[in-house]
Every structure is written in C-alpha cells, then in structure tokens.
Amino acid sequence: MENRIEKIKKQLHSQSYKLTPQREATVRVLLEHEEDHLSAEDVYLLVKEKSPEIGLATVYRTLELLSELKVVDKINFGDGVSRYDLRKEGAEHFHHHLVCVECGSVKEIEEDLLGHVEKTVESQWEFQVKDHRLTFHGICKNCQSEHD
Amino acid sequence: MENRIEKIKKQLHSQSYKLTPQREATVRVLLEHEEDHLSAEDVYLLVKEKSPEIGLATVYRTLELLSELKVVDKINFGDGVSRYDLRKEGAEHFHHHLVCVECGSVKEIEEDLLGHVEKTVESQWEFQVKDHRLTFHGICKNCQSEHD
DNA sequence: GTGTCAAATTATAATGATTTTAATTTATTT
DNA sequence: AAATAAATTAAAATCATTATAATTTGACAC
Ligand SMILES: [Mn+2]
Ligand SMILES: [Mn+2]
Ligand SMILES: [Zn+2]
Ligand SMILES: [Zn+2]
C-alpha cells in the first residue's frame, strides 16, 4: 500500500503535481477498493469518512488528474455515471470486464488475451494499437447454476 | 432501405410496439447515417429537418426502445454523451471500433475477431458470453503518416 | 520570520444531458 | 360515436459534472 502510494507520488511529481492530503486520501480509497468500480460520488463519500472536509469538486479533479496520468481508467458501464478503475500494478494495458446481464456483477480479467487480435488489427487495418477496452456481456457462473 | 425498415417494423410489432411516424423518421435518420455515431441531439436535429414537429423526448424514448430491441447499440466514447449505433444487417454481435487518440476519428471493424478469445473466456472463467464491446485506442493510418 | 506568488481547495452556482410530468393527440376497441 | 390505451409534446425537473470566485496552503525570496 505505502509502496503503491510512493509510486503514484513520484508519478505526480514527475509532472510537477503534488500529492496533497486530499489527493492522498483519494488514492487511499481507490487502493482500498481496488476490486470495485466506484463512481466519483462513491469515492467522495468514502473519502469523506476519513477526511470530512473534502469537497466533491476536488474528488472530481483528482480523479481526472489520475486519469490523465493513467493511474486510473475512467469507464462507463452504461448507467449514467463514470467509474474509476485503478490500473493493475505494472499493467501495460487496461484489464477486461465480464458483466453479468442477470445480476449485474462485474468480474475482472487481468490476462491480456488480445495479443493476437491486436496483431491482426495492426496489419489488416494499419492501426497502431496503444490500448483497448473490452467488456463481455453474458451470464456469470453463479447465475448459470441458478437457471436450471 | 425499405427492406430494413420493414424488418424493424416487424421487430417492433413482435413486442406489440407500433412503428409510429416519429419512430419511422428516427429509424430513417439512423439508416441514412449508418457509418456515423450520432448522439440523441444529433439524431433529433436530423429528424427535425424532415419532421419539424418532433420532440427531443420522443427521440430519446425511441432510441431507448430501439436499444432494448437490439436494433441499435448505445455506446459511450468518453465525451459526455451517449451515441447510438445501428447493428449491422444480420450481425450476431456488436461491431468493434478503432478510435484515434490523435484526430478522434472512429473506424469500424465488422469482422468478429473474438471467437477464440470468447472460447477461452467461456472455459477458463465459466462465463457464458452473449455479446461484447471492444474498442481499440491508438493511431490511425492517416495520423501515422503525418507523424514522420 | 514575514511577504509574495502559484497551486490547490472549498462552497456554490452554472451547465448540459437525460428523464419525468401533465396535458394533448392518435389509434384502437366497443 | 364514446371509451380506452398508447404515444407524443412542451415544459419542468433531475442529476452528474464543470466552472467560478473566494479562501487556504505551501514554497520561495527577502
Ligand atoms: Mn476493473
Ligand atoms: Mn460503430
Ligand atoms: Zn450473474
Ligand atoms: Zn488519426
């Protein structure tokens, strides 16, 4: 944890941003909820528990900043809000998601899986791939068993 | 064109919805801009050219309805608006997108490409895939040549 | 240490996309 | 033709996000 924060601090400094108390509190919440997909409001409420004086606008600005630095990825599952997802430690690309259309659960896939597909895209479509967003919609393991 | 509209009409009827003049006008706009990725507002303005009496709320409701029927897919490229994308004729799955981070252009890939990956997801993660969303972010052919 | 400046934050107001509401119109059934 | 349900309109409301103005913080110069 402290280790990850140190790294993020250095990333901020390298672009001459500071790790303010508000930013640190926000990062801590993100680290403590790494599996989740929190909205700005969600993050705000969680940060407020430990740092009640923080403002919602600051959380928004911090998340935007972390997004520019690629510390988090901003994603959208189609409900009306943006969600913020920490990059996995040392990950080159954004990870994938499995969204269950029955129960709404979201599972993560950290394996890349797209190496071959990206090579095809680069050669067939002459498009130089930098990153990807992949989400599968379907029935999760749980909901499958409940069905029959 | 008339052929596609007939099909959509039948899809609506099968769920006991009607193809009202407003709905037809909206579908026509979508068909005439199949390559584009129009926002609700975009669609509204285009429909208004031929049917000036239509209301924005109707366009929203129509797009929502078409989305439920899987005639269109609602997507989000990270700017603040939802965009509505017609399913390709007879397509089983949603098509993929190549978004250029330099110029913002969006290109479509109709080939599926994910067959193998989906098999892996089904067996390794025991997740029954129904559909997918895949977007690549990178440098388009045009912007590549301008670079050097 | 005190003054100065830029960056960051706060509280609040504004914006803009989308949804809801109430009244009206249209189409369908009796 | 009257009754009923579905769809639409115009307007207001909602809600996520962004902008604004005033205040605070922290680094640096004197
Ligand atoms: Mn995730
Ligand atoms: Mn498309
Ligand atoms: Zn499920
Ligand atoms: Zn480009």
Parse chain B into domains and list their residue ranges: 1-90, 92-148
A25, A27, A29, A31: CA torsion to nearest 10: -140
**pLDDT of amino acid B120:** 97
The bound ligand whose nearest atom lies closest to the alpha carbon of B130 is 3
Distance of CA A64 to the CA centre of its chain: 12
CB of B125 within 8 Å of a chain A CB? The answer is yes
What integer pLDDT is reported at residue A103 of this predicted model?
92
pLDDT value at B109 more than 70: yes
Q: Classify domain A1-90 at the CATH topology level.
A: Arc Repressor Mutant, subunit A (1.10.10)
Q: Do B109 and A129 make contact, defined as CB atoms within 8 angstroms? A: no
What is the reported pLDDT for A89? 87
The answer to whether residues B109 and A125 touch, using CB atoms and an 8 Å cutoff, is yes
CA nearest to nucleotide C26 C1': residue: B20
CA of B134 to C1' of C18 (A): 25
B60 C-beta less than 7 Å away from strand D? no
Identify the nearest ligand to the CA of B146 by its number: 4
Interval between CA A74 and ligand 2 midpoint (Å): 20
Tally DSSP H helices, then E strands, for chain B. Answer: 6, 6
Taking residues A119-130, report their average pLDDT: 97
Report whether pLDDT(A1) > 70. yes
Radius of gyration for chain A, computed over Cα atoms and rounded to the nearest angstrom = 17
CA dihedral B45, B51, B57, B63 (to 10 degrees): -80
pTM: 0.92
List, for residues A128-148, the tens digit of each pLDDT value: 999 999 999 999 999 998 866
Q: What's the whole-number average pLDDT of chain A?
A: 95
What is d(CA B36, CA B106) in angstroms, rounded to the nearest whole number?
9
- Tokens 């935007």 sit on residue: A64
Does at least one atom of strand D sit less than 7 Å from the CB of B58?
Answer: yes
pLDDT in tens, A92-112: 899 999 999 999 999 999 999
CATH of domain B92-148: 3.30.1490.190
- Asked whether the predicted pLDDT for residue B7 surpasses 70, the reply is yes
Identify whether the C-beta of residue A128 lies closer than 8 Å to the C-beta of residue B98.
no
Percent of chain B past pLDDT 70, that is, above it, reads: 99
DSSP letter string over B57-86? HHHHHHHHHHHHTTSEEEEE-SSSSEEEEE
Q: HSE-up of A93 (CA within 13 Å, CB side)?
A: 21
